[in-house]
């Protein structure tokens, strides 16, 4: 339990530092006109690509995938039920890590815009959230029994982490798209919204890592992860 607490606090501290650094550089950019800061503004922008926050988010997703894969391996060794559910989750987080780095999901925006005639909408500028919401709903339905067989505390931890993460990638992404359609993306207001979105995504992932570590500590007490 001590190792879990130390790991969670460390991950949260790193996320907090990145959030503050991103907000600070964005504030300097929009209120003083110094947009580069020797490249630090781009390097620390939570809504940027191929930079420090992106790398950290990828690392968090990979940690989730590895922990889920380890649990799946242990479940399979026990011939335990719901082993495929753990395996699918592990593979899913691996794909999410790849998407975080390459932004594959943005390809769905042009497709959904064209198919659903959303070119002039102001609420679904980032219309990839429509297939994203359908995928989340499908996974939720498929994992009802999986969640039910977890202990109450573990179930609450899983749902809390998932709820925060999904609220960020769907809810705040939609809100950010609406704001961008009205005011553009090159504003401090949009930067605040995207920072909140990315920050909550990090929080959801860190809480999920915490939930997985607690689950492993209870289910497999013989496994020791040294800090």
* C-beta neighbour count of 177 within 10 angstroms: 23
Q: For the chain, what percentages of helix, strand and coil (3-state, to nearest 5) are there?
A: 80, 0, 20
Domain contains 198:
yes
Question: Residue 159's domain spans which residues?
Answer: 2-219
The count of structural domains within the chain is: 1
22 class by beta-carbon count within 10 Å (0-12 exposed, 13-18 middle, 19+ buried): buried
Listed in sequence order, the residues at least 6 apart from 149 whose beta carbon sits closer than 8 Å to its beta carbon are 81, 82
Whole-number Å distance between alpha carbons of 25 and 17: 12
Listed in sequence order, the residues at least 6 apart from 165 whose beta carbon sits closer than 8 Å to its beta carbon are 200, 201, 204, 205, 208
Domain contains 62:
yes
- Looking at residue 1, what is its pLDDT? 64
- Looking at residue 137, what is its pLDDT? 95
- Looking at residue 115, what is its pLDDT? 72
Domain contains 225:
no
Category of 121 on φ-ψ map: left (φ > 0), alpha (ψ -120 to 50) or beta = beta
Predicted confidence pLDDT, tens digits, the chain (227 residues): 677 889 999 999 999 999 999 999 999 999 998 878 888 999 999 988 889 999 999 999 999 999 999 999 999 999 999 999 999 999 999 999 999 888 777 777 777 767 776 666 777 778 888 888 999 999 999 999 999 999 999 999 999 999 999 999 999 999 998 899 899 899 999 999 999 999 999 999 999 999 999 999 999 888 765 54
- Looking at residue 16, what is its pLDDT? 97
**The model's pTM:** 0.92
- Looking at residue 227, what is its pLDDT? 43
Whole-number Å distance between alpha carbons of 206 and 212: 10
Domain contains 227:
no
Domain contains 224:
no
Domain contains 202:
yes
Domain contains 226:
no
The encoded tokens of residue 15 equal 């996320």
Domain contains 186:
yes
DSSP string, 163-191: HHHHIIIIIIHHHHHHHHHHH-SSSHHHH
């Amino acid at each position: 339990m001590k190792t879990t607490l130390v790991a969670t606090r460390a991950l949260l501290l790193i996320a907090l530092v990145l959030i503050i650094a991103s907000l600070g550089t964005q504030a300097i950019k929009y209120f003083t006109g110094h947009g580069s800061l020797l490249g630090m503004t781009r390097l620390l922008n939570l809504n940027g690509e191929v930079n420090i926050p992106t790398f950290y988010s990828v690392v968090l997703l990979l940690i989730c995938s590895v922990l889920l894969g380890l649990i799946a391996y242990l479940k399979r060794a026990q011939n335990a039920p719901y082993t495929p559910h753990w395996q699918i989750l592990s593979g899913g987080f691996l794909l999410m890590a790849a998407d975080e780095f390459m932004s594959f999901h943005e390809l769905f925006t042009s497709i959904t815009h064209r198919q659903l005639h959303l070119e002039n909408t102001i609420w679904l500028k980032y219309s990839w959230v429509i297939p994203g919401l359908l995928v989340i709903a499908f996974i939720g339905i498929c994992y009802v029994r999986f969640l039910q067989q977890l202990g109450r505390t573990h179930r609450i931890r899983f749902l809390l982490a998932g709820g925060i993460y999904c609220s960020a990638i769907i809810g705040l992404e939609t809100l950010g798209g609406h704001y961008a359609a009205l005011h553009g993306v090159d504003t401090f207001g949009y930067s605040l919204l995207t920072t909140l979105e990315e920050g909550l995504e990090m929080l959801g992932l860190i809480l999920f890592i915490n939930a997985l570590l607690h689950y492993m500590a209870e289910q497999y007490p013989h496994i020791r992860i040294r800090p």
